[in-house]
Every structure is written in C-alpha cells, then in structure tokens.
Amino acid sequence: MREIRFMDTTLRDGHQCLWATRMTTAMMLPIAEKLDQAGFEIIDLMSGVQFDVAIRHLKENPWERIRLMRERTARTPLQANLRSKSVLSFDILPDDINALWIERLVANGIRSVRAFDALNDMDNIVDSLRLVKKLGARAVGAVVFSESPVHTDALYVAKTRELIERAGVDAIMLKDASGLLTLDRLRTLVPALKQVCGTIPLEFHSHALTGLAPLLYLEAARLGADQLHTCIAPLANGAAQPAVQTVARNLRAEGYEVNLDDALIADISTHFHQVAQQEGKPLGTPAEYDAFHYQHQIPGGMLSNMRAQLEQAGLGHKLQDVLTECVRVRAELGWPVMVTPFSQLVGAQAVLNIVQGERYRTIPDEVKKYALGYYGKLLASVEPDVLDRIVSGGSRKIALTPAPPEAGVPLLRRRYPRASDEERLLRYMYAGSQVDDMLAAGPTRTAYTFEKPLVRLVRELTRRRKYRHIYIERRDIRIDINPNG
C-alpha cells in the first residue's frame, strides 16, 4: 500500500494547545537532531502565537529560536505559519510589512510556509504564497473548515481551486482547527478536495477535542490524504493533534507504509515526559465526546480561559448561557469560522450580551471592524438589524469603509537605523518596552538540565512556608530543615 507521510506539530501546536505555548527553546534543542532524523516530512515550528509568547512571557528572541533549530535540523524542513495579512496582530497590516516578514522567515531558516485566512478570503494570502515560492520555499495554502450553512463542500472545492490556480501552491491543507469534522463529512469532503488537487498533496490537520481525531486520521488516509499532522505524546490528544505513536501503529496495521523511526520518537517522548514532570506541565489525554462542541465550536484553549475569567468575576454559573449566546451571535454575524481572531470576537460579544443583560449594548471595536469588512470579505451577510446596532453602537472612530494601510517598512528603517530587519519587525508589532525587555534578557538559553529527584524535592519543599520541620534521610544523605532553628 502507499506511503503516508507525517508532519510533526509538537514544537508548535502541541505545546500551544497543552502548555499555553510555554515550551522554551532550551526544552526543544536536546531532541532537535532526533526529531530531524525521525522521518517526518516537515517540522512545524512557528506561528504568531510562538513569537508573541516568546517575546512577552519567555523573554526569548523568536528569530534566534528559528536559527538554533535550523542548525540542528539539516534534513527536515522547518515550517512557519501565516494568518491572513496580520503577522502578529488582528488587523490587516501593510503589504510591505507582510512581505518583509516572509523574507526574514526564509532568511533565518524556514523552508516551508503555510498561509491561511479564517474567512477563507484568498485575496488575503495569495500574494504571500506567491512570494514564498519566489523565495524558494515550500508554499502551503490552507482551507479552514467550519460547520455552518455556508461552509459547504462546494465552497471548499472552489477555495482549493482558487489557491491552486492563483498561487500555484505546493500543497493544500485541510485545517480543522476546532476539531469539528465527523466521519460522514470527511467522507464527502476529502474525495472532493482530492479530485481538484490532482497530483498536489493534500494535508490533513485536526484537533482531538471530541475524541474523534485518531479515527478521522485513519479514514483520511483511506480517502487519499497524503500527509497527516500529529504530535508526539505526551504533547498530544486533548486540545492538540492525535499522537503519532497511535496513528502510525493504526496505519501500519492496515498495511500502509509509514517511514518513521519509532525508537527515536520514543526517545523524544521520554524527554518531554521528563520536562513535563520537572516543570509541572500537564500530559495530553484523550477527550470525551461532547456533542455541544459542534454548536458553540469554541476552541479548547479559549474555552478554559473564558471559564476562568467568568469564575474570577463571580459569574462562573453563566458559562452555559454564554456558550449558548455564542451560537446565536455567530449565526447573526454571518457564520465566521471559530478560530483566532473570530472565536475571540464572537466570545467577547456573547459575554457582553449576557453579563450586561442587553444584546449588543456594547460593541467591541473588533466586532465593528469585522462587520464592515476590515478583515476581508464575509462569506455571509451580517443580519441587517444586528448590523444596524453594530454600526450605530460601535466606535465612531472606525470609518464605514476601511482604508488600505500605508507602507510601513521605509518609516521603520528610518526610525531604527541601527537595528536589523528582524528587530524592526518586532518593534513594529510591540509598543512600549517589551522588545527591549526581551533583548535585555540576553541570548536565548540553550541548555536544559534535569534536576535529580532529591534536589527537586528539596527545592520545592523550601519554597513552601507552611511547615514545621523537614527531615530526609537516604543512604549516606541526611537533610534536616528546621525553620525555627
């Protein structure tokens, strides 16, 4: 039987979904060479979220992460992801900023670039994909799946054909970011996409939010998918992709050729088990089936944040009402796909509608921009009465017709004459001292050390203040900690 190829998403989506994107570069580097040799077709490494968390929370230079990983992965291409024309923001950015971003990604070692637009407005990504190909990198165009009256198989066939004809992509990705696909829908959609793709590879990407993804991956292979996106357990399942260990085993049992090195993958798995234990990070576990997920379609990470914020405000009991309101708001806004930034946009409006007791009393700026087409062409119209409330109740500073953004690179280079283009781009995205704070932290830490269990135990115990006396004895070691002397 034919070969099924794999993309590893552990270093991007795995920790984004399960560890709040808090995997440091030092946690990655010890297994980089093994990952390079394990047989994956692509290693997915960066998106806007990874840049953002590296700068604001980890105080690491994300460009340096790419370079350090590139040095250790000579065989397998590293991939970066583009969301519309937004780079790291929600707003559409100038074309020259987007172009410079792509140029610097490739210059720093990215050899595959995937672009998607949450509205499936291909005008927002075609030019970027053409530039990727011009620079000699692999260009992947994604169609973003959603379940609604407007997200039909015919729509996805048309959008796939548009990417192939206008951008000349090297591969098409079916992106099921919210884990919404079912077996029945997969069995009509994948054959339809394969027919229009012809010899162009079709990649399949889903999340295990409803527990169906491992079965969907097996069925996608049967239907002709060429590449599957998986994580290495323990950074798999739950809100992340299925575990490559399980998917590979299932495919081999059906006779498919899977050219992955199981021993190397096991070593990588052991490494991340140890990291999770030392850092107190969760392990990915299979999710239970949740039928309501197909109605509200809120991604797992956003759902946990929404629950926490409502509880913090003493409104935890309102969660079910908010989720039900999300269903209604999404329909009224023309069925946006529930991925960033539109899942946040729908969720914010739903929370306001429930908490304030009056629907559309307060209109976030992003909701008004969306309704007026600032982010791209809508697949369906906003309901007229809702649109009237959004336009009249939203900020007067938002023009009814969006103006194209002015060129940004010339001013950026004049403002920061001694900086590299990489640094200039970060300063364009981040106001205040965030880039300065990141640079002041010094070079990215590259070494990761596992503490001995006894050392870790003592360190954790000494952090706690509520104890009277700690006494540990082991063979020739005796530790006596008495805060009272």
For the segment 161-183, the average pLDDT, to the nearest whole number, is: 97
Encoded tokens for 136: 């000699």
Give 150's pLDDT tier (boundaries 50, 70, 90): very high
Separation between Cα atoms, residue 259 and residue 275, nearest integer Å: 27
Separation between Cα atoms, residue 390 and residue 376, nearest integer Å: 17
Give 168's pLDDT tier (boundaries 50, 70, 90): very high
Give 296's pLDDT tier (boundaries 50, 70, 90): confident
Q: What one-character-per-residue DSSP string does 154-167 give?
A: HHHHHHHHHHHHHH
Give 457's pLDDT tier (boundaries 50, 70, 90): low
Q: Which of 273-282, 332-341, 474-483 has the lowest mean pLDDT?
A: 474-483
Instruction: Give, for 46, the enclosing helix (H) or strand (E).
Output: strand 42-46
φ and ψ at residue 345, rounded to 5 degrees: -65, -50
- Region class of 286: left (phi > 0), else alpha (psi between -120 and 50), else beta: beta
For the segment 453-482, the average pLDDT, to the nearest whole number, is: 69
pLDDT computed for residue 483 by the predictor:
65
392-451 per-position pLDDT tens digit: 999 999 999 999 999 999 999 999 999 999 999 999 999 899 999 999 999 999 999 997
Determine contact, residues 54/45, Cβ cutoff 8 Å.
Answer: no
Residue 176, pLDDT above cutoff 90 = yes
pLDDT computed for residue 477 by the predictor:
73
Give 466's pLDDT tier (boundaries 50, 70, 90): low
Determine contact, residues 347/298, Cβ cutoff 8 Å.
Answer: yes
Mean pLDDT rounded to a whole number for the chain? 93
Q: Where do the domains of the chain lie, and which CATH numbers do they carry?
A: 3-279 (3.20.20.70), 292-393 (1.10.472.90), 451-484 (no CATH)
pLDDT computed for residue 305 by the predictor:
73
Q: How far is CA 198 from CA 6, 170, 201, 222, in A?
A: 19, 12, 8, 16
φ and ψ at residue 474, rounded to 5 degrees: -150, 115
Other residues' Cβ atoms within 10 Å of the Cβ of residue 265: 25
Separation between Cα atoms, residue 393 and residue 359, nearest integer Å: 11
pLDDT computed for residue 431 by the predictor:
87
Q: Which amino acid is at 124?
A: N
Question: For the chain, what percent of residues have pLDDT higher than 90?
Answer: 84
Give 128's pLDDT tier (boundaries 50, 70, 90): very high
Instruction: Give, for 143, the enclosing helix (H) or strand (E).
Output: strand 138-144
- SS3 for 199? coil
Q: How far is CA 244 from CA 33, 218, 248, in A?
A: 18, 12, 6
For the segment 291-295, the average pLDDT, to the nearest whole number, is: 88
209-246 per-position pLDDT tens digit: 999 999 999 999 999 999 999 999 999 999 999 999 99
Question: For the chain, what percent of residues have pLDDT higher than 70?
Answer: 95
